[in-house]
Structure 1
């Protein structure tokens, strides 16, 4: 083989390798879901009312119901993948699940790692306050003082909010929202900053033990996350969301978890 032929063969080999990589990159997760007959969904159980564990040991919540409806519409089995929050994006990236449906706030940093569908709900951070501070603390700005101990969950938008908006406060971070809010309930903290839906439910369950400043002080759209660049899956998700919002399915599920507290008795 002469030099020109070798160069041509080498170039053709590179072309084939590149084409193979492009084909792999272009395969949608929808193909994986169809082939396996399963929709594997990552979440971190413990975020009321989005994903929780019932007394019977089953997963339940707003995201769980939406995921089950989606799997049913796809004609596949819903497979829950309960994952620690700090490992949830790596779990998606490494194929342990097809999608994150976990009350995840769309942020610039997360969007560099995953692709988000259109937001399916918008929430924000609110404050659970020690009753001893009723009247003293009227909004988040009043907590921006070293004498106040503020707690929240590590790695969440609550974590980002207190660092950005309460730089002078004494901030303590916890692995779970349960551990963080317990610090407040036991009198070891002055305030707990977290997503408004969770705080509203906690306040209703512990009336008198905490005060809820329920006006959110951040704007946080929540979105379903998929692996970067999967335009087919994103197209499916956006169209599916539009459909269930149009036919009333979304509203019925929303009302079940946000307009009623009948489910509270089932939670661990």
Structure 2
């Protein structure tokens, strides 16, 4: 019995020692020399993929490059989509997902989130002439109201959880979805307040954000990491320093102000 206990204790110590020396995801990234960043490329101002040049641009594109610089590695952008993102994450197609990713419990079960980068919430965007019609969910959830959503993300989830009487139509191209509202083929979309402000700026006098300062719910955006504490600690520290040294503010101003 004593020998068995000693053997078990030695095995546990050996296992702990091996775990301590096992390379972390951070170690792998540094050895590889590349940070793989998953992005949908369809969610300005956070991320947009130019189909002609196959290059990404946006707030989180610039943030990813800043993170890569802090790590001392190159950044490789890996295209994904909102319906496919979870599967790509589980398949280890990228080290980190960026591009306006909201914190959800389902995603938290699969990986880790950085400290939040932005406080958000769902709010409507509609034609400016109709802006006063959609202040509340009760005003939105009526027969005859046409709501457009992009598939697979938190926007569709929010709409289906809160809308029972109005029509919900899924539109697959998130880069053109706001044109559906502008030309009258949909009445509104409920999305993150930051996106409604940005689209309002892109469509002056045509599309208007509805109470973006008072969204319907509470949410936060962050960076979704493969489950590695060392990597999360690095990203959190980088975010902290970026907010203190002005890097975050400069990148934010370029896309949101």
Q: TM-score normalised to the size of structure 2?
A: 0.85
- Give the stretch that moved more between structures: 88-97 or 67-76: 88-97
Q: Do residues 126 (structure 1) and 123 (structure 2) align?
A: yes
Distance 2:30 2:47 in 1: 25
Q: Which residue of 2 aligns with 1:224?
A: 223
Structure 1 residue 65: deviation in Å? 0.7
SS at 1:68's partner residue? helix
Q: Residue 179 and residue 49 in structure 1: after superposition, are their counterparts in 2 closer, same or farther (change >3 A)?
A: closer
The correspondence of residues 18-29 of structure 1 with structure 2, limited to 5 A, is 19=15, 23=19, 27-29=23-25
SS at 1:112's partner residue? helix
SS at 2:84's partner residue? helix
SS at 2:230's partner residue? helix
Q: Do residues 245 (structure 1) and 243 (structure 2) align?
A: yes
SS at 1:126's partner residue? strand
Structure 1 residue 70: deviation in Å? 0.8
The correspondence of residues 52-131 of structure 1 with structure 2, limited to 5 A, is 52-54=48-50, 56-131=53-128
Q: Which residue of 2 aligns with 1:137?
A: 134
Report the number of matched residues.
248
Q: Residue 28 and residue 90 in structure 1: after superposition, are their counterparts in 2 closer, same or farther (change >3 A)?
A: farther
Q: Unpaired segments of 5 or more residues in structure 2?
A: none
- Give the stretch that moved more between structures: 75-84 or 22-31: 22-31
Q: Map Cα deviations across residues 171-197 of structure 1 (whole Å, 9 max, x no partner).
A: 112223234323322312111111222
Q: Unpaired segments of 5 or more residues in structure 1?
A: 1-7, 260-268
Q: TM-score normalised to the size of structure 1?
A: 0.82
Distance 2:235 2:82 in 1: 22
Structure 1 residue 26: deviation in Å? 5.3
Residue 121 of structure 1 contacts residue 222 of structure 1 at CA under 8 Å; is this kept in 2? yes
